[in-house]
Structure formats: structure tokens, C-alpha cells
Chain A
Amino acid sequence: QSALTQPASLSGSPGQSITISCTGTSSDVGAYNYVSWYQHHPGKAPKLMIYDVSNRPSGVSNRFSGSKSGNTASLTISGLQAEDEADYYCSSYTASNTLVFGTGTRVTVL
């Protein structure tokens, strides 16, 4: 149950786009379209931003989009805004009927 690999940090200026990668294996990310992404502001509850690789829950801005290729999933934030500054985690279903989270990416808005 090794954590999925994400970059530790990314940054961008307001209005720019950034993409967070999430690399797993053929037993998790590569095996299923069950990848979710969470936004986590310190001290608050995590928020579901994307599920099933690319679906947005009701109320989530369309500036957030998800995709997957092979064993790597990605979250793109377009039109970066100050409130997007947070930690982001991917999560995947695994072949063992378990879940695994990514290592987390700290997004900084310059």
C-alpha cells in the first residue's frame, strides 16, 4: 500500500494554469477509473474536487478538471485564484479493495 506519488509543491501566478500529477501503478490508478482529488485547507475538512477521474461534484468550479493516462492521473487548475492555495491529494481504489492517497501537493499562488 505505497502512497501515490505527487510533486511536493507547485506554484503559479493568479490566472495561470497548473497541473498536479499523481502516479500509481497498474494495481491502482492504472487499473480503475476510480481516482478522486481532494482540496485541503489546513484546519478544515478535506473537500472532494474530482471523482471518477474527471467528474466534478455539484458546486465545484469548472476551473478544476481531471484526467488520466496509464498509471498517472492529473488535476488541472485553470485561472488560478488566491483561494486555490491549499494542499491537494489524489486518491485511488486498489485491486485489494482498499484505498490509497497520494503524497500531497502544496499549491502556492504567487
Chain B
Amino acid sequence: EVQLLESGGGLVQPGGSLRLSCAASGFSFNTYAMTWVLQAPGKGLEWVSSINVNGGATYYADSVKGRFTISRDNSKNTLYLQMNSLRAEDTALYYCAKHHVSSWPHQYHGMDVWGQGTTVTVSS
């Protein structure tokens, strides 16, 4: 079964750090681009960051650029999101998602597998 399982969320104080993980199974992880998407409480989906198949190309939303780092370990079938200098407005449910076809960053064909998400709460 194709599956993504996020972990690493929790409660952190403003200015703190967290590392989210996304464990992939059931597909050839090293042949697909991956993306993180967030949903703040009561709000819509928001793109956070994407990474290509080998980790050599990474892209970020302006709201997280310089604070978040996306990475992947293809030997462990795992995607990561290192989150530093966290702010209250980063509070959200964070999803990882697999690209349907792996031609990112030059093309985008949607994201066909999503995890259930992990919750990050930034509060003092």
C-alpha cells in the first residue's frame, strides 16, 4: 500500500525549532518529487516547500524562506522539514505529499498521495 506517515509535530515556543519527518512506503521514493503543505486552523491549504528526486533542487514559500529547510534521505525513504525560528503563524497541520509524476521543478502534475498530517503549535 502506498503510504506517507508524518511525525515530529508538537508544541514549541516562539523562536524554537522542530524537525518534521515523512516516512514513505509502497512506492519508489527516490523517483518522485515531494512537497510539504500546511493548513492553518480554519484556513485553506498553503504550499510550503518542494524538493526534487535527488534533493538537489529545493523551493520555498516566501513565508518560510530562510527559516525552513526541506531535505530527503532516499536511503531511508524519508522526507524532512527542519523548522527554525518558529512563529505563532506557523501553527498548522503539516502534510507531506508525493508528486504524481516526477518532473519537478520544470513541470507539475499534481500530488497524488498525501499523509494524514502532523500538527505544529507555536505558543508560549
Contacts and interface: CB of A to CB of B under 8 A. Distances in A.
Interface in B88-124: 95, 97, 100, 105-112, 114-117
Nearest to B93: A43
Contacts of B117: 45
B50 interface: yes
Given A1-B62, A46-B95, A57-B100, A36 B108 contact: yes
A51 B62 CA distance: 25
Interface string A41-68: 0001111101110000100000000000
A36 B97 CA distance: 14
A34 B107 CA distance: 7
Nearest to A32: B108
Contacts of B60: 98
Contact of B105 (A3, A38, A46, A97): A97
Interface residues of A, number: 30
A36 B110 contact: yes
A92 B114 CA distance: 17
B73 interface: no
Given A57-B100, A97-B59, A98-B59, A48 B44 contact: no
Most buried by B among A51, A57, A96: A51
A51 B109 contact: yes
Most buried by A among B44, B45, B115, B116: B45
A1 B61 contact: yes
Contacts of A103: 44
A53 to B, nearest CB: 10
Interface of A: 1, 3, 32, 34, 36, 38, 40, 44-48, 50-52, 57, 87, 89, 91-93, 96-104
What 9 A-B pairs come out closest when comparing CB atoms? A51-B110, A36-B110, A104-B44, A93-B108, A45-B114, A99-B47, A34-B108, A97-B105, A101-B45
Given A45-B114, A91-B110, 7 more contacts: A34-B109, A36-B109, A91-B45, A91-B47, A97-B59, A100-B47, A104-B45
